[in-house]
Amino acid sequence: MTNIQMKSSAPFTEQTITSINNIKVQTPLNLKEIHNLNQTAGVSDNKDSGQTSNQGTINTDNTNTIGNAPVFNNAATVTNTNTTKTMTIPPLIHTTMKGQKIQFFTGGSVQKIKACLGWNISNTECDVDVSAFMLDSTGKVPGDDWFVFYGQTKSPDGSVIFNEAEKNDRESITIDLNNLSPSVKKIVFVLTINEAYEKKLNFSMIKDAYVRILNYSNNSELVSFKMDEYYENVTSMMIGEVYLHNGNWKFNAVGNGVSKDLAGLCGLYGVQIV
C-alpha cells in the first residue's frame, strides 16, 4: 500500500478531540459582573473621563455566536497567503486538439522525454498538483508504487522522475523510455486541485493548463496540448498521456476530468493507499 503524504495538517485523533471537548469554556461576564471585578481590583469606572481605550474590548452584551467565545474588536485580519504567481505560457509549437492522437517520434530516435506542465489560476486558493500513473495493458498500475507525485518522486525502476520548480513550466515528469519497465504501456499525466472538496474548488478556477512533451536531449518540443474546456464538476484532470502502440510511442490529448482527489485517482488506477 502507498501512504499519500497530504499537504494539509494532520487530521484530529480521538485523543485530540477528547482533549478539546474537556476544555471548560467560561461564559462571557455581564456588565454588573465586570463592574464588580473592576471594583475588587481597585479600578474606577472613570465614566466622565471622556477617554476610550483602543485596546481590544470585551463584548459585554452576550451576543457571541460561536461557543460563547469573547470577541475582540482589534482582532487581526487573516490574510490568505496560498497564492500562485501568474506564469508566462511558453511557446507551444506542435499543438494538438482534444482527443487527437499522434505519433511524436519514430523508432529509437528519442530515448528520453520530458513532460512539462503549467497552468494559471483565477482563484488564489487553488493549489494544483501534478502526478503521473504508469499503467499496464489492463489500464491499472503494475504495483502500488508505480505512480509519481510530490510525495513519491521516482518509479521503482528509476525511469520516471517527478520534478518541481521548472524554469519555464510549473512541474515536469522525465521518462527514460529505454529503461522503462516492459510492463508499462501507458503513462497518464494528471492535474489535481489540493483540498478541492474542503475549500469548494474546481477546474472552472483554472486556466491556461497545458502539457508539452520535449526531447530531453535538446529540449525541443515533440508535441503539446493546451486545454480550452474547464468544468465546475471537475477536481482532477487527465490532461494527456503517452502510450505504446505497435512498438511506437504516441501522445493522446485527453483533456477529460473527474470529480476525485488524488486518493480517488489512486483507486481508479488500482493503487491501494493506507
Residue 172 placed within a domain: yes
Q: What's the rounded mean pLDDT across residues 232-253?
A: 96
What residue numbers bound the domain in which 159 lies? 95-268
Residue 119 placed within a domain: yes
Q: Are residues 122 and 246 in the same domain?
A: yes
Higher pLDDT, 273 or 88: 88
Residue 34 placed within a domain: yes
Strand pairing report for 112-121 and 171-176: antiparallel
Alpha-carbon dihedral 87, 93, 97, 102, rounded to 10 degrees: -130
Q: Are residues 59 and 101 in the same domain?
A: no
pLDDT band at 5 (very low <50, low <70, confident <90, very high): low
SS3 at position 203: helix
Counting beta carbons within 10 angstroms of the beta carbon of residue 148, is it exposed (0 to 12), middle (13 to 18) or buried (19 or more)? buried
Q: Are residues 122 and 242 in the same domain?
A: yes
Residue 7 placed within a domain: no
pLDDT tens per residue across span 141-190: 999 999 999 999 999 999 999 998 778 999 999 999 999 999 999 999 99
What is the count of structural domains for the chain? Answer: 2
Q: Would you state the pLDDT for residue 165?
A: 73
Q: Are residues 72 and 101 in the same domain?
A: no
Q: Are residues 136 and 162 in the same domain?
A: yes
pLDDT tens per residue across span 238-248: 999 999 999 89
Residue 194 has pLDDT above 60, yes or no: yes
Residue 35 placed within a domain: yes
Q: Are residues 118 and 241 in the same domain?
A: yes
Residue 189 placed within a domain: yes
Buried/exposed code over 202-226 (b: 16+ C-beta within 10 A; e: otherwise): bbebbebbbbbbbbbeeeebbbbbb
SS3 at position 2: strand
pLDDT tens per residue across span 41-70: 444 444 443 443 333 333 333 333 333 332
Ranking 66-70, 83-87, 105-109 by mean pLDDT, the lowest is 66-70
Q: Are residues 184 and 223 in the same domain?
A: yes
H-state helical runs in 50-172: none
- Show which of 79, 108, 123 is a domain's final residue: 79
